[in-house]
Chains A and B, each alone.
Chain A
Amino acid sequence: MKRFDYHVPQSIEEALNLFKSLGDAIYIAGGTDVMVNIKRKKISPKNLISLRNITALKVIEKGKELKIGSCVTHEQLLKDKYIEKYYTALHDAVRKLGSKQIRNVATIGGNICNAAPSADTACPLLVFDTKVLIRNEKGERKIPLHDFFLGPYSVSKDEGEIVTGFEITFLPPYSGSAYIKHSRREAMDLAIVSVATRLTLSPEVDIDFLKREAGEKTYSEFESRLLSYGITVKEARIAMGVVAPRPLRAKEAEDYLCGKRLTDEAIREASEIASSVAKPRDTLRGEAWYRREMVKVLTRRAILLSAKRAFD
């Protein structure tokens, strides 16, 4: 393996200064992408600057907004009951990400900064209108995650800048979300295609009744009734993975759903629109036509699951 020196700063400032003084360096968090890339000789940095020992980057804060530090591991996210309850799409994503060994070290910041088209946390964060917090010597800036992704493995920041975390506004009541990853194996497999959705509903019927139904009915019973309750969609977000060079929002489908009654027909139409926005390629993992078909199926399923979870 190519030689590199390894630096272990204890603060963000120290890490920024190290980057400036070292020149040829890259940041490493969990290293599950970086170490693989070094071993595969895709990159050969002279210096690695570890962000793993900076405690400020490792916290999940629940203040005015939800703030997830960039070095929070997938396992930390998976165990967080609050995220499971309110940001369920993110919980879905980390549950199926890599293996236990990978989740124990790999971070959400690394997943987003690596910007693979299949990055599992990308679509969930997109449907929560997440903002990326970026630090350089001058200070901190904040940009929508949507503008952060430029293309495969390419993000909108200078090499020396550090992503410190992700800011997510609290969701209004009656919001629900879901992420569905379609892969050949349950564990340790990258997505062939994936979809995250988030709905905020405005139920015009008795809420207690709906909650009871959601709690008591099996999923398919509830699903078949859900669409006859006359629920209006207040806000919709749909994001798709591995259908474009970067994780993609299906804004046309979101706009279509917004203000509509949640009916089977509306969901099918939204899924068709999402599929028409997708621009997948033929790859070893799956052909373009197949991905487009699966976007329809997954979008429909994710919307239904989000709607059900809005009453959990």
Chain B
Amino acid sequence: MKREIKFKLNGEEVTAEVESHWTLLYFLREVLKLKGTKEGCGYGECGACTVVIDKMAVNSCLFPVMEVNGKDVLTIEGISGPGEALHPLQKAFIEEGAVQCGFCTPGMIMSAYALFEEKKNPDDEDIKEAIEGNLCRCTGYVKIIDAINAAKRGK
């Protein structure tokens, strides 16, 4: 069933016609061609699809697209301001060597982004809690935690 939704995507008001059974992830990747958000498992287990909705990290693979109506959605494509090349989190991930294959990175960064929305000065436990729903099969997580700490110091 075709339905119209209005929401904010990466800072811009969007009006779109969607199929009511789509997930947000499908809409982002296959319709809007925003391929930064990844699909790993499709079942809420891996966090590769994490986006930030109304300042909270959410698995877009389980999120009905109809529920974004009226909400504020941020994806990896939207976190750096206009003109600015990379967000401090993105820079920190590169500098600390927290990116290997890179598949988990957008999800990790969105989870960390939501953490900074909630807490200005998170400790290691907060960081671990924020990324507990994000799997990484390459780094062993230590560099990722280092990167989030580095971004915190850089702020």
Contact = CB atoms under 8 A, between A and B. Distances in A.
Contacts of B67: 8, 31, 50, 52
A4 B21 contact: yes
A32 interface: yes
B69 to A, nearest CB: 7
Interface string A22-49: 0000001001100110011000000010
The 6 closest A-B pairs by CB, nearest first: A99-B133, A187-B132, A6-B20, A6-B66, A35-B62, A5-B1
Interface in A53-78: 75
Interface stretch (A101-109, A206-214, A229-237, A261-269): A101-109
Contact of A50 (B42, B43, B66): B66
Interface of A: 1-6, 8, 28, 31-32, 35-36, 39-40, 48, 50, 52, 75, 98-102, 104-105, 186-188
B111 A101 contact: yes
Contacts of A40: 43
A31 B61 CA distance: 11
Nearest to B111: A100
A48 B50 CA distance: 23
9 contacts: A1-B21, A8-B69, A40-B43, A99-B134, A100-B114, A101-B59, A102-B44, A104-B56, A104-B58
B133 A187 contact: yes
Contacts of B45: 188
A40 B61 CA distance: 13
B116 interface: no
Q: Is the interface of B mostly helix, strand, loop or mixed?
A: mixed
A48 B47 CA distance: 24
Nearest to B131: A100
Interface in B37-55: 42-45, 47, 50
Interface in B105-155: 111, 114, 129-134
B21 A2 contact: yes
A99 B130 CA distance: 8
B2 to A, nearest CB: 10
B23 interface: yes
B63 interface: yes
B57 interface: yes
B43 A39 contact: yes
B64 interface: yes
Nearest to B62: A35
Nearest to B135: A188
Contacts of B134: 99
A100 B133 contact: yes
B64 A99 contact: no
